[in-house]
Structures are given as C-alpha cells and as structure tokens.
Structure 1
Amino acid sequence: MYKPLSQFLVILFLFIGTIGCNKQKNKIFYDSFSTNISLLGETMKTDSVMLRYPFRVRHQDSLAVIMDLHHPEYFYHAFTYPHFRPLFSFGKRGQAPNEILSAENFRLINGRMWGLDANKHLITNISMQDMCHPENAKETQLDKEIIRALDFTLYDDSCFIIPDYSGKYRFHVIDKNGNIRSSHGKIPTFKRKNENIALAQAWRSFIDYNPNNQTLAMVTQLGEVLEIYNLKDSTHIVKIGPHGEPEFNESGDMAIPSGIMGFSDIQVTDKYIYTVFHGRSFKEIAQQQQPIIDGGQYIYIFSLKGEPLYKYTLDHYIYGIDVNEKTREIYALDVNSNQPIVNFKLKH
C-alpha cells in the first residue's frame, strides 16, 4: 500500500535513530580485555605492626602510609618506601578534638597529607613531617548540604571533588572553605528512573583525579561501571562491563545490595586507569566456607578513554593499591593475611 512521503521520512528517521542508539550502547558496553595476565605477588614482611583491615595505601617519595579501618587505636600507619619498614602510627581513633571518628580516604600531595572524616564531616590536612602532631592539622568543615562524603580527591590545589549522594548529581566541586562551588553529572543508569538517595547509595563510587591530564575517574562499588570525566574539555565516558549496573532492592531511602561486589579502588596515572575488581555475588560471599576470603582477585587496567586493555588475575585477594609506573610495580593490600602488603611486578 502506498504511504505518504512524510510518513516514510518519519519511519526512516526512527530507524536511523535506533541504529544511532545501538551504536552508542555498543560503545558503552564491554565484555572482555585485550590481554589477560596471571600475576604472582611477593609478600612484604611487617611483623612489628599488626594491621587489622588495611584498606588504602599511598606513597610519596620515601614515605608510604596505610589506612587501617579496624585498628583499635590508630587509622594510619607510616612506613618507609619501597621496603615498608614501619615508622610510626598516627590518626588516633576517638571523638575528641584532633581525633578521628571515621577515616574514609586520604591523599599525599606536595608534602602534605589530606584525610576525610565522614562522621565529623570534615577534611583535614597536615604537613607530612608533622603527622604525629595532630594539633597542627588544618580543618575544612564541609557544607551541610553534602550528604555523608565517602570519598574525595584534590582538584586544582585549593578545591576538592566529592561524590554526590543525593541522587541529583554525580559529584560536587568543593572550595577551600568547604562550600559547594559547582555540581556536575548524572547517574548514568539505563534501568532506574527515580534519582533518589537509594540510587545514589547503590552507585557509591571510588574516585581518583590526575591533574596532569585532568582526568577524573569513578568506579562503582556494586556492579561493573567505570566513568571518566575529562575536566578540561568536559567530555564524559561511561563503560559498563559484563556484570552491568549496580543491582539493589530499595527500602525507603536505603539501597540493599543484591548483585555483585564490584570495584574497591582506583588510581589514574599519566597513562592508564588502574582498578581493583571483585566480581563475586553477595550470595557467593555469604555461602563461603571457612576461612572467609575478602577482597578482589583482579586488577583491571583501562586506557584514559575507557578502553579495557589488561586484566590481571592475582594470587591474592586485595582491596587497596598504590601504582608506581616508573618502577613498574603495584603495592596492594591483602586483608586476609597477617602480612597484608604484597608487591606485584607489572608485565604490560
């Protein structure tokens, strides 16, 4: 039957639009890595310091710091780098002034250490030479509109980037006084329409920023989603792996995880984006027999454009990493061991 030209054009445009959407989705989703490598680690001896749940590790020059979430007295422990000989512990746990209620993350930049205390709703910074004297730390109280900050990174020396947990945005830029200077992005979900606190909780992400290439990258704690923001040209890249978006059940304003444990750390270098990936379902984790294994067995490496390049399968289960591309090695934290610091030599 003859159809008017206008109707034919509408159908043609819809067809072209569908092809365009499919091409866009094909760019977003990935299912494999270019290279798969098995990697054996070397355990570092740290007998004089009992780390309970080491979560983050970073170094600058000859000093390394490990953040321990469950240590009964201190959140932070200083070591020599790269030999990891213990020096001292600091960041006393407690409610008093100059003590820490909850350590979420920390950064070592330009001779200073910056730390985030979510319960006290503030960021502190102190000279790395003065870390045993918390009374000399400077505090930045965060804007009351920020919902419980769970990660942060420095941006342009005097500002911070903090993920948003209201569901309205993806992250905030915070000025040196702790006030929201600007808010950016949306949660890139294909499955949920309601942008609320529960969705933001499920999409909790770990972040890192590299000022040399102005790249901000985020990975989800649940599911398998990587986001890359180039803060120079405002481009945004989303990459979703085989495990898909974070899965959860909504109960009021709470997100109850129901899918997999995803990423647990990320580092943006001048060349690549390094991530720690778990990939185990909560059902599998709950049904484990003794001894319980915690952490991720994979290091995923992406290009700065989000292309999946290298998948390392490790002989340890880890949480935090510190990448040194100059020496081509990664120091990682194995929470299952009494000797949790592991050295891996890169092979790519």
Structure 2
Amino acid sequence: MLLPDTVLKNNISLLFLSFFFFISCNHKHKEYAKDVLFYSEFPQERELRGEVIELDTALLRYPFRIRIEGGKAIVMDLHGLDHYGHLFQYPSFQYLSSFGRRGDSPTEMLSMENFRLQNHGVWILDANKSELTRLGFSSSGDSLFRDEAVTLDEDILRPLDFAIYNDTTFIIPDYSGENRLCRVNCNGKLIDKMGIIPTIDEKALKNARPALSQAWRSFLDYNPNNGILATVTQLGEVVEVYNLKDSTHVVRIGKHGEPEFKISDGYGIPTGIMGFSDVQVTDSAIYAVFHGTSFKEIARQSGRLPDGGKYIYVFSLKGEPMCKYVLDHYIYGIWVDEATKTIMATDVNNDQPILKFCFGSV
C-alpha cells in the first residue's frame, strides 16, 4: 500500500514513505556494534552568508538538487509542472533548456528522485517507473536528449536514490530491510547487497524489516576517486561511511539519534526530527545539509517555518565531525567545489532559489 500524499505536508512533504510503518522507535538502551560511534559537537563552527543568484526565468517550483560540471549547471525540480530538470549555463545561470518531461508516456517521467553526471551525460531516476535513464548532451551542449533507459530488477523495491559506482554498476538503497544497499549492473539486474541497518531495535529487525528500512530512508553519494560512499538519514541524525576500497565501515550518530516514529491509525508518524536532506563526498571530506527541526515544532508552526536546513555539517572521510556551517538561508540541495571554496545551494522558500556560499579551509 502507498502512503497518501496528504499524510505528510509542508516541511515533511519530502519523506516519500512508500509503505506504512508498523514499528515504534522508542528503544530501550542497548549496546551498539563496535563500528557505531557518537558525536555531539564539532571542533569548528562558522557562519556563512549566501549570495542570491538572479535567474532570468521563473521555472522552479521546488528546486531539490543542483550539480555543476564545466560550464553547465543542472537543477532538479521535485514538483516541476512540465519538466523535472533544467539546464543552465554556469556561472551566469542563463537558462538553456528543460528535460525530464512529466507524463505517463514511455519517454516521459512519473517522478524524478535524483540525477547524476557521468562521462558528459546525465543519469536520472524515476522511482515510480523503477527506471534509470541516460541523457546525452546535444552537439551544441545546450540541451539533453534521451539516450537509453534501464528498467530495474523487480527485486529492487522502490528505489528512492542512487549513486554511480563505475561504468557498469549502480548503488541503490535496499528497502527490503535485508541489507542497507544494493549493487545493480548496467542492465538493471541485482548483483549483490551489502550492509545492515545499524539500529538497536531488535524487534523491528526481526519482525518488520521492510518497514524499518523505510524509516531509515537515506540519501547517498559516492566518490570514485577515494572509494568513499556516504549515506545520511532523512530522519534522525545518522551518518554512515563505507570505504569500498578497503571494505571498512563506520556509523556516526549525532545527539538526535536514530529515526523515531509512533504508530497512529496504522500509519508511521515521525516523532523525532527532520534530519539530513543532501550529502556530497568530495575528494577530502563529506558535506551534508542538516535540518534538526522537531516534528512537534513543525506541527506547532503549521507551515510557518522555512522549509529546509540551515546547517551544513562537514565530516572527514572517516566520518569524524570537522566543521558546522550555520547559514543565513534554509536550503535543501548542495554542490561543493573545494577548489574554489564555493557551495551552490537550492532554497525552496524564495522566488530566486539559487544561492552561493563561500567558505575557507576546513
């Protein structure tokens, strides 16, 4: 059964919990595994002020993701009216074209969960079709065309994010609850699975794994240069770091702990906090957007709170907390350029939704 859109509104519209949760995360105190470590503070804390980028067109309803390569910037619009993706020149942000047309024809999209840049092309994920599609750039570079589509194996339950491991392999979260991540080949077939949900809720692990995996919905990113895969939970405050070169793994849990829920009328209702909304693994660090707003406060404010997170957490490639950036805007998605010490971000609260932050060394 699918969770109706009306269950989670306003600031929590991005939960996309596709299943009912038949679990409660009110854990008794138990010991975590030895690879689970805790953090509560960052050795550095800095304030960053954002520069608003003036766009020459009003296309974006809910700009969720942003990525930049060379002289091109792509912004994903989660709730786009006609298209889910938009191509701009960079750094001018002059509008070029749109892609990912919304519709139910074979060449259109029912949803877009994320996109990735690879080999001068773009891969996009449609969870409702369970399909990955590769787009290529036109010869002029000002538009994208459909190149190939890959239907994902039926054993891969509702893929809500993906990362590109190499030219022949994708990494997709596992929502069966059996493991944490799936490795999928370029034909959409499941290769293998890895990791487990690092929870202390033994009852849920035993009796409600699919529901628990939905509660642990995470965003992920992979950097092939260093072999680091990072995942961050959309609820609670959990960061996982997988080193796929030496097969090591570490879990970092912040002061807000695991995702928390209660059951009401058969639905899983969040009772803790909104956690992370994006993550990027660079060559030297892990950057993640953090919200930290409680659902009690979200309900109390009845939609008056800005949507997004006002913090960027920076972790080492081993998951050690390094720096906490406090922003003057609420943001959702980020793209980090360590060479120029620049962070581009999306702000869903404003008509001019693209921001630029400049930061020093961490």
Q: Deviations over 1:266-321 (max 9, x none)?
A: 00000000000000001111222664410000000000001000000000000000
Task: Note the C-alpha offset of 1:75.
Answer: 0.4
Q: Which amino acid aligns with 2:233?
A: T
- My pick for the range that moved more, 316-325 or 80-89, is 80-89
CA contact (8 A) 1:28 1:240 kept: yes
> In the superposition, relative to structure 1, how do residues 311 and 133 fare at CA in structure 2: closer, same or farther (>3 Å)?
closer
Match of 1:199 among 208, 212, 215: 212
1:153 aligns with 2:163: yes
**Contact (CA 8 Å) 2:169, 2:183: kept in 1 or not?**
yes
Q: Is the 8 A contact 2:136 2:144 kept in 1?
A: no
Q: Secondary structure at the match of 1:280?
A: coil
Runs of 4+ in 1 over 3 A off after TM superposition: 21-25, 130-134, 250-255, 289-292
Equivalence for 1:313:
326
DSSP-derived class of the 1:119 partner: coil
Report what 2:82 is aligned to. 73
- The letter of the residue matching 1:163 is P
Distance in 2 (alpha carbons) for counterparts of 1:211 and 1:253 = 42
Bigger mean CA offset, 59-68 vs 122-131: 122-131
Q: 2:185 aligns with which of 136, 157, 175?
A: 175
* Superposed counterparts of 1:198-347, under 5 Å: 198-250=211-263, 255-288=268-301, 291-347=304-360
- Tell me the CA shift for residue 132 of structure 1: 4.5
Equivalent residues of 2:182, 2:194 under 8 A apart: yes
* Pair 263,23 (structure 1): closer, same or farther in 2 beyond 3 Å: closer
Change (3 A) 1:90 1:110: same
Residue number in structure 2 paired with 1:92: 101
Query: Could you tell me whether the CA contact under 8 Å between 1:198 and 1:253 is conserved in 2?
Result: no
What corresponds to 1:10 in structure 2?
Answer: none
How far did residue 39 of structure 1 move?
Answer: 0.7
Matched-pair contact (CA < 8 Å) for 2:163–2:170:
yes
1:73-98 deviations in whole A, cap 9, x for unaligned? 11001111122121111211000121
- Partners of 1:313 and 1:87 in 2: CA distance: 32
1:164 is the counterpart of 2:174: yes
TM-score (norm 1): 0.90
Partner of residue 34, structure 1: 43
The aligned counterpart of 1:63 is 72
Counting helix residues as a fraction of each chain, which structure ranks higher? 1
Q: What is the CA-CA distance between 1:49 and the residue it aligns to?
A: 2.7
Contact residue 138 and residue 144 of structure 2 kept, 8 A: no
Q: Which runs of 5+ in 2 are unaligned?
A: 1-30
Aligned with 1:194: secondary structure? helix
How many matched pairs? 326
Q: Which has the higher contact order (CA 8 A, sep 6+)?
A: 2
What is the CA–CA distance in structure 2 between the aligned matches of 1:68 and 1:177, rounded to whole Å?
Answer: 27
For residue 23 of structure 1, report the CA deviation from its aligned partner: 10
